């Protein structure tokens, strides 16, 4: 068993094939200067700053043929999977389903809803289209993890205190051992990220662990190459 130096204590990595890299909602509308996030007044450069770290992690997982799971927050074009309360929320000038700078906001298949080109999923990687903040709500994620025997999730993406933390909490309640990679997740609000990480690791790791991408990459480098080689599908 390989240990990753983590907070509040070392995280034990199981054998290859039993852990996956989860990349939450790295979609153009949240990250690009002309996207929905920017229209709402958020500083998207904060989120863009984690892209090189995510590229490194993704490259490492791909080179070892380890499972990678991407998620996208999105809804059907007729909004049948979007609760009216979610559409109404915020009193913003743009609502879910409205036409934004890169197509209809949070609608599956629209240009702004795509994952940024730097992290574009490969055909054999798992992509979860999620209508909620958490990746387990109303998706096939749990069935996929069970079918593949994945028990440990290394969680990244945006935004830390919303979709990333919600997913980690959902996973924790279902018995998955979760490690959040702190420099591969980001929020528009630095103080929210800071507190979200503290909440996860409080009380002896009540939701799970946190670590850095370097610690993960160092651990992956120790994997015997012959033991890796688990495809996503
Ligand atoms: C939000 C997300 N913040 N991916 N989505 O609405 O965190």
SS (H, E, C) 160-226: HHHHHHHHHHHHHHCCCEEEEEEEEEECCCHHHHHHHHHHHHHHHHCCCEEECHHHHHHHHHCCCHH
Give residue 93's pLDDT: 79
Residues 87 and 173: their CA atoms lie apart, in Å, by 27
Give residue 134's pLDDT band: very low, low, confident or very high (50, 70, 90).
very high
Instruction: Return the higher-pLDDT residue of 23 and 225.
Output: 23
Task: Please compute the mean of the pLDDT values over residues 204-208 and round it to a whole number.
Answer: 98
**117 near 55, Cβ under 8 Å?**
no
Give residue 118's pLDDT band: very low, low, confident or very high (50, 70, 90).
very high
Say how many Å lie between the CA of residue 163 and the centre of ligand 1.
5
Residue 51 has pLDDT above 60, yes or no: yes
Residue 226 has pLDDT above 60, yes or no: no
Residue 56 has pLDDT above 60, yes or no: yes
**11 near 181, Cβ under 8 Å?**
no
Give residue 101's pLDDT: 87
Lowest mean pLDDT of 82-86, 97-101, 180-184, 222-226, name the range.
222-226
Give residue 233's pLDDT band: very low, low, confident or very high (50, 70, 90).
very low
Query: Is the CB of 29 inside a 6 Å radius of any atom of ligand 1?
Result: no
Give residue 176's pLDDT: 98
Say how many Å lie between the CA of residue 102 and the centre of ligand 1.
17
Residue 231 has pLDDT above 50, yes or no: no
Of 25, 29, 82, 193, which is the active-site residue? Answer: 25
Q: What is the pTM of this model?
A: 0.96
Of 148, 163, 178, 193, which is the active-site residue? Answer: 163
Residue 121 has pLDDT above 90, yes or no: yes
Give residue 34's pLDDT: 87
Q: Among residues 13, 52, 27, 18, which one has the least CA distance to residue 221?
A: 13
Task: Please compute the mean of the pLDDT values over residues 45-61 and round it to a whole number.
Answer: 98
Query: Is the CB of 163 inside a 6 Å radius of any atom of ligand 1?
Result: yes
Say how many Å lie between the CA of residue 135 and the centre of ligand 1.
11
Task: Please compute the mean of the pLDDT values over residues 145-150 and round it to a whole number.
Answer: 98
Average pLDDT for the chain: 94
**CA terminus-to-terminus distance, the chain:** 24
Residue 38 has pLDDT above 70, yes or no: yes
Give residue 111's pLDDT: 97
Task: Please compute the mean of the pLDDT values over residues 148-165 and round it to a whole number.
Answer: 98
Query: Is the CB of 73 inside a 6 Å radius of any atom of ligand 1?
Result: yes
Distance of CA 125 to the CA centre of its chain: 14
Give residue 225's pLDDT: 64
Q: What is the pLDDT of residues 58-89, one digit of tens each?
A: 999 999 999 999 999 999 999 999 999 999 88
């Amino acid at each position: 068993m390989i240990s990753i130096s983590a907070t509040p204590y070392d995280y034990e990595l199981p054998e290859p094939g039993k852990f996956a890299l989860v990349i939450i909602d790295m979609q153009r509308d949240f990250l690009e200067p002309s996207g929905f996030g920017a229209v709402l007044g958020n500083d998207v450069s904060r989120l863009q700053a984690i892209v090189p770290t995510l590229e490194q992690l993704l490259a490492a997982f791909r080179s070892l043929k380890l499972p990678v799971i991407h998620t996208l927050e999105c809804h059907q074009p007729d909004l049948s999977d979007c609760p009216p309360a979610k559409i109404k929320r915020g009193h913003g000038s743009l609502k879910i389903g409205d036409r934004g700078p890169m197509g209809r906001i949070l609608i599956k298949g629209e240009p702004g809803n795509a994952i940024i080109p730097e992290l574009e999923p490969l055909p054999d990687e798992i992509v979860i289209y999620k209508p909620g903040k958490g990746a387990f709500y109303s998706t096939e994620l749990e069935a996929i993890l069970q079918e593949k025997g994945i028990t440990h999730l290394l969680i990244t993406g945006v935004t830390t205190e919303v979709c990333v933390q919600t997913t980690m909490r959902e996973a924790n309640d279902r018995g998955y051992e979760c490690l959040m990679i702190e420099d591969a997740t980001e929020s528009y609000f630095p103080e929210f990220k800071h507190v979200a990480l503290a909440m996860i690791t409080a009380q002896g790791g009540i939701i799970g662990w946190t670590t850095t991408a370097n610690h993960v990459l160092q651990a992956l480098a120790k994997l015997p190459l012959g033991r890796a080689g688990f495809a996503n599908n």
